[in-house]
Structure 1
Amino acid sequence: MHAVLSIAGSDSCGGAGIQADLKTFEAFDLFGTSVITVLTAQNTTGVKDIYEVNASFVKSQIISILEDFDIKAIKVGMLFNKEIIKTVKDVIKDLDIPIVLDPVFVSKAGSPLLETEAINELKDFCQYAKVITPNMYEAKQLFDYDENEVHDLTKLRELKTNVLVKKHKKVINGINYCIDYLYTKNEIKSFHTDYLETKNLHGTGCTLSSAIAANLTLGHNLEDSIKISKDYVYEAILKAPNLGKGNGVINHKVNKKTI
C-alpha cells in the first residue's frame, strides 16, 4: 500500500479539507497522512470561525511525516496566509514526487479566502506543482482567465505548470454538462460529466484534487488521473447521503467498479 499526504485545512463537518482528502485516499486503497494548516468551525451552511496553525508547527508536521513515510504524492489545499504558503513551498518544492495544488483562495461564490499579499507567493508555488486545480474565480486572479473568451495561454505559461480549471456548466446538443478544462504547455483538453442539479456539493473541489493525487500515485498519467477523478466525484455526488442543511456532503465511499 502506498502512502500519500494532504496538506490542508480541517473541516469540522467532515465533508471537505483534510477529512475529505483522507476519505478519498482510502477509496483508492491508499494510506493517507495529513498536515493541518488551519482549523475551521464549519458545517454545510458555511464557515463560522477559523483558527490558523502556526507556520513553524506546519513545518514540524510535514517533516515528521516525510521522515517516517515514503510519500508518493502530495495534495496541497488551503494554506491561509503568506507565511504558511512559503513554509510549505520551501519544505516540499524539491521533492521528486507529484504535487497537486488546489489554490484555495476564492470561494465558489467569489468570496476571498486568502490574504491579498499572499497571492503572489501562491503564484510562485504553482511552478513546483504537477497540476493546479483552480475554480474560475481563482483562475481569473492567477492568469486573467475568462471563460467567455478564446483563451490566451501566455500568462498561464508563466505559472510553469498544468492548470485544470474546474466547473463550467455548458449545454451541448441539448444536454447539460459539467466541463473542466486542462491547460498544458501546448494544448487545451476538456473533461465532461453530466451536470447534476443538486445541493450536495460540499467538498467536491477538495475531493477532485485529492483523487487526482491518488491516481497519480497509482501510476496513471495526468489525463487519465483527471478522468478517473471526475468520474469518482460524479458518482460521489450522485450517491450523496443527503446530510446537512446547506450544501450537503458527498459520498466518498462509492463503488469504484462503477467508475
Structure 2
Amino acid sequence: MTIARVLIVAGSDSGGGAGIQADIKTVTMLGGHAMTAVTAITAQNTLGVQRVMPIPADMVIAQIDSVVGDIGVDAVKIGMIGSADTAHAVADRLERLDVPIVFDPVMVATSGSTLADAATVAAFERLITIASVVTPNIPELAALGGEAAVLAHGCHLAAKGGHADGGWIVDRLLSPHGEVARLEGERIETAHTHGTGCSFASALACGLAQGMDMADAFTRAVRFVRTALSHAPGLGQGHGPIGHALGVIPFDAIEG
C-alpha cells in the first residue's frame, strides 16, 4: 500500500485551528501522510496571536532535508514562512524538487494579527516562482499585485472568494491561459472560520500528491473547506476552528 506524502512548511498554531495543526488534520482526513518543517511557533487562540517566535532558517532547512531524504515527498504546502531569510532558504531548497508546490501566502491571521512583516512579504516572490499554484485570499492577492502579477510567474492561481462582500461565494482556479475551474455557493454564515486558508491549501496539496489534476484537486479542496465550515464545533470565544473531522464524509456525496 502506498500513501501520498505531503511536506508542510508552515508555522504552528497553539490553538489547533490553523497552521501545521490544521494542515496535519486536513491531510490525514484526506488519506495522505503529513510531514512538517516548522517555521515559527505561535502562542495564539481564537481571540488572536499573543506571541510569535520564528525558527532559524537553517533549522527549517534541516527539517526539510531530514524528511525528504528519508521518507520522500509527493507534494509540498508552504504556509506561514516566518522571515524573509527563511523564504529565500526554502525557495533555494525546494526548487530542486520535482513535485507540485502549493504556496499559501499567509500575511494576516483570521483574528487580524499580522503574521508576515514587509520584508517577508517582499520575499514571497521567490516562493511564487517555484510554486505550482498560489492560494491567496482577496487582501493577500491585492498585496501580491493582483491576478496578472501572480500568473506572470507561470503558476496556477486559486482565487478564493471568501473575503468578498455578499452572500454568494465564487472560487476560481486560473492558469496563465485563462480560467480552469469555478465553484459557486452560498456563504456559510459562521464566525468560526479560523484555518480555512491553511486547510484549503493543504487539501489542494494532498490532492496533487495523490495524483489528481489541478482542477479536481481544487474542487475537492473547496468542498472539504465548505463541509468543515458547515460543521465548525464552535470552540473558543472568538474565531473558532472549522470542523476538520468531517473530512471522513465521501466527497462524491458533497454538493458545491
Structure 1 segments, 4+ long, off by >6 Å, are: none
Deviation at 1:129, TM superposition (A): 0.8
* 1:9-24 mapped onto 2 (5 Å cutoff): 9-24=11-26
Deviation at 1:170, TM superposition (A): 6.2
Deviation at 1:15, TM superposition (A): 0.8
TM-score by length of 2: 0.91
Q: Is residue 43 of structure 2 the alignment partner of residue 3 of structure 1?
A: no
Letter in 2 for 1:119: V
Query: Quick check: 1:126–1:160 contact (8 Å CA) kept in 2?
Result: no
Change (3 A) 1:248 1:74: same
Q: Which residue of 1 aligns with 2:249?
A: 256
Q: Which residue of 1 aligns with 2:52?
A: 50
Change (3 A) 1:170 1:119: closer
1:91-144 residue CA offsets vs partner (Å, 9 max, x unmatched): 111201000000112445776432212333211220211100011111111124
Change (3 A) 1:144 1:31: closer
In structure 1, stretches of 5+ residues that fail to align are: 146-152
* 1:51-70 mapped onto 2 (5 Å cutoff): 51-70=53-72
Determine the C-alpha separation between the residues in 2 that align with 1:15 and 1:35.
18
Deviation at 1:248, TM superposition (A): 1.1
Q: Which residue of 1 aligns with 2:121?
A: 119
1:129-179 residue CA offsets vs partner (Å, 9 max, x unmatched): 11000111111111245xxxxxxx3x33333211112224466xxxx3222
Letter in 2 for 1:20: A
Q: Is residue 158 of structure 2 the alignment partner of residue 164 of structure 1?
A: yes
Change (3 A) 1:183 1:59: same
Deviation at 1:181, TM superposition (A): 2.4
Change (3 A) 1:140 1:108: farther
Determine the C-alpha separation between the residues in 1 that align with 2:110 and 2:45.
16
Letter in 2 for 1:41: A
Determine the C-alpha separation between the residues in 1 that align with 2:62 and 2:189.
42
* 1:92-241 mapped onto 2 (5 Å cutoff): 92-107=94-109, 112-144=114-146, 153=148, 155-168=149-162, 169=164, 176-188=167-179, 189-241=181-233
Query: Quick check: 1:193–1:231 contact (8 Å CA) kept in 2?
Result: no
Query: Quick check: 1:6–1:21 contact (8 Å CA) kept in 2?
Result: yes
The sequence identity of aligned pairs, in percent, is: 34
Query: Quick check: 2:37–2:64 contact (8 Å CA) kept in 1?
Result: yes
Change (3 A) 1:231 1:116: same
In structure 2, stretches of 5+ residues that fail to align are: none
Letter in 1 for 2:174: Y
Determine the C-alpha separation between the residues in 1 that align with 2:6 and 2:119.
30
Q: Which residue of 2 aligns with 1:31?
A: 33
1:177-206 residue CA offsets vs partner (Å, 9 max, x unmatched): 222222211113422232111011010100
Determine the C-alpha separation between the residues in 2 that align with 1:156 and 1:92.
19
Determine the C-alpha separation between the residues in 2 that align with 1:47 and 1:109.
8
Determine the C-alpha separation between the residues in 1 that align with 2:228 and 2:242.
5
Change (3 A) 1:86 1:198: same
TM-score by length of 1: 0.90
Determine the C-alpha separation between the residues in 2 that align with 1:108 and 1:180.
18
Q: Which residue of 2 aligns with 1:40?
A: 42
Q: What is the count of residue pairs matched by the alignment? A: 247
Q: Aligned-residue CA RMSD in angstroms?
A: 1.7
